[in-house]
Amino acid sequence: MSFNTFGHLFRFTTFGESHGPAIGCVVDGCPPRIPLTAADIQQELDRRRPGQSRFTTQRQEPDAVKILSGVFTDEATGKQVTTGTPIMLMIENVDQRSKDYSEIKDKYRPGHAGYTYDAKYGIHDYRGGGRASARETAARVAAGAIARKIVPGLNVRGALVQIGEHKVDRSKWDWSAVGGNPFFWPNSAQAKELETYLDGVRKSGSSIGAVIEVVAEGVPPGLGAPVYSKLDADIAAALMGINAVKGVEIGDGFATAAMRGEDNADEMRKPDAKTNEGRPVFLSNHSGGILGGISTGQPIVARFAVKPTSSILKPRKSVDKYGAETDVSTTGRHDPCVGIRAVPIGEAMLACVLADHYLRHRGQVGESAPWPQHRA
Ligand SMILES: Cc1cc2nc3c(=O)[nH]c(=O)nc-3n(C[C@H](O)[C@H](O)[C@H](O)COP(=O)(O)O)c2cc1C
């Protein structure tokens, strides 16, 4: 059975294909009386939208979102707020060019999902990849815009930290640079150098992979569960569920394999009422803000690796759906590095996991975790 629903208490179901009339989602479980307008959601969608630079696909989708249900004007404030009922969000598809796909209609694009869809369903919408198209992720970004409002004080942001062999210089990390260059890169000077690099990749008819880092600040300690719904496991699943993602790590991740215990374990100092709301102070954050599947109150840090776009001009060996060998060269409008637009998608998925766990935590233990009150 297919599964198109994310989450437990904060839950959304996405619908639609790349070349159908519309895509969208129904968000269920959002608490009532949270201020919400289409503009709040649009500002996040605009960050993911295609066609904003020569380094992303040239499809021109405005991704204009409509809220079809679940909001009402609060008489007390005059503001539009959530009502606690299902919120339906719809985004019309307006820039499909299905003929771009007629040439590869019966051929399997190596690295794309056509073969596995046929192996499973015996039919698939080949236009734009159908349900495997990253257009579906617009609905996740829209749901994420709502999720961001659920955990009080939560701030989720992300950046591209690697394209091909180019890695960010962490000593020059500048969050304020991220919104000012076409790569979501946290350093303006380095981003400029990447333009020449990516132009080269694009002009050679190829594509390139990337790594994205997402960070959540303002996460209260206590979110998560100790065994089958560990916060890190749920974040990994949510990020791995984004199209083209092939690897996820939390905190120091794979680098921990080369570390010693004394270098990895985050040391602690006594609670500091002024700077840390009376909670213990951690001297480092190798854990990425999660211990035992439960948030520590430190920033949550996750990275995910995105493979290079499979639709490239360079011919690749494949077969068609009748079993004959063929070559596939993909024309049409594709992202030369899908990692760029994956930044707001990763942020959205992290926000959704945190909103879901926040509501589940509140349901089980109430508004605040018992520590440190029980020690008074
Ligand atoms: C933001 C984003 C944009 C994407 N754009 C394209 C694209 O233009 N062409 C393409 O072939 N794949 C693109 N993809 C990747 C496919 O959606 C994905 O690789 C495909 O569904 C194969 O499945 P996989 O997720 O197992 O790799 C994109 C992925 C993301 C996250």
What is residue 51's predicted lDDT score, i.e. its pLDDT?
A: 74
Q: How far is CA 110 from CA 203, 315, 359, in A?
A: 20, 10, 41
Query: From the CA of 307, how far away is ligand 1's center (Å)?
Result: 9
Query: From the CA of 279, how far away is ligand 1's center (Å)?
Result: 42
Residues near ligand 1 with C-beta < 6 Å? 57, 112-113, 129, 132-134, 137, 242-244, 307, 309-311, 334-335, 338, 341-342, 345
For helices 342-365 and 231-240, what crossing angle results, to 10°? Answer: 150
Give the tens place of pLDDT for each residue, 160-214. 999 999 999 999 999 999 999 999 999 999 999 999 999 999 899 999 999 999 9
Query: From the CA of 245, how far away is ligand 1's center (Å)?
Result: 9
Query: From the CA of 330, how far away is ligand 1's center (Å)?
Result: 13
Query: From the CA of 7, how far away is ligand 1's center (Å)?
Result: 23
Query: From the CA of 76, how far away is ligand 1's center (Å)?
Result: 45
What pairs with residue 156 in β-bridges?
Answer: 216
What is residue 53's predicted lDDT score, i.e. its pLDDT?
A: 79
Residue type, 321: K
DSSP 232-299: HHHHHHHHHTSTTEEEEEETTGGGGGG--HHHHS--EE---TTTSTTPPEES--TT-SEETTEE-SSP
What is residue 369's predicted lDDT score, i.e. its pLDDT?
A: 55
Query: From the CA of 147, how far away is ligand 1's center (Å)?
Result: 24
Work out which ligand 1 atom sits closest to the CA atom of 335: 8
Candidate from 338, 343, 347 with most ligand 1 atoms within 8 A of CB, to mutate: 338
Q: Residue whose CA is closest, atom 12 of ligand 1? A: 309
| Site of tokens 């989708």 | 61
What is residue 331's predicted lDDT score, i.e. its pLDDT?
A: 80
Q: Residue whose CA is closest, atom 24 of ligand 1? A: 244
Query: From the CA of 112, how far away is ligand 1's center (Å)?
Result: 7
What is residue 370's predicted lDDT score, i.e. its pLDDT?
A: 53
Contact of 154 with 127, CB cutoff 8 Å: no
Q: Residue whose CA is closest, atom 20 of ligand 1? A: 112
Work out which ligand 1 atom sits closest to the CA atom of 330: 11
User: To 10 degrees, the CA torsion angle through 36, 42, 43, 49?
Assistant: 160
Structure tokens at 143: 């749901």
Give the tens place of pLDDT for each residue, 33-69. 999 999 999 999 999 887 777 777 777 788 999 999 9
Closest CA to 343 of 77, 165, 158: 158
- Tell the burial category of 270 from Cβ atoms under 10 Å away from its Cβ (0-12, 13-18, 19+): exposed
Whole-angstrom Cα distance, residue 278 to residue 249?
30
| Site of tokens 């639609």 | 16
Which parts of the chain register pLDDT below 50?
373-376
Q: How many CA atoms lie within 13 A of 362 on its CB side?
A: 14
Q: Residue whose CA is closest, atom 15 of ligand 1? A: 244
For helices 38-48 and 342-365, what crossing angle results, to 10°? Answer: 140
Contact of 68 with 92, CB cutoff 8 Å: no
What is residue 376's predicted lDDT score, i.e. its pLDDT?
A: 44
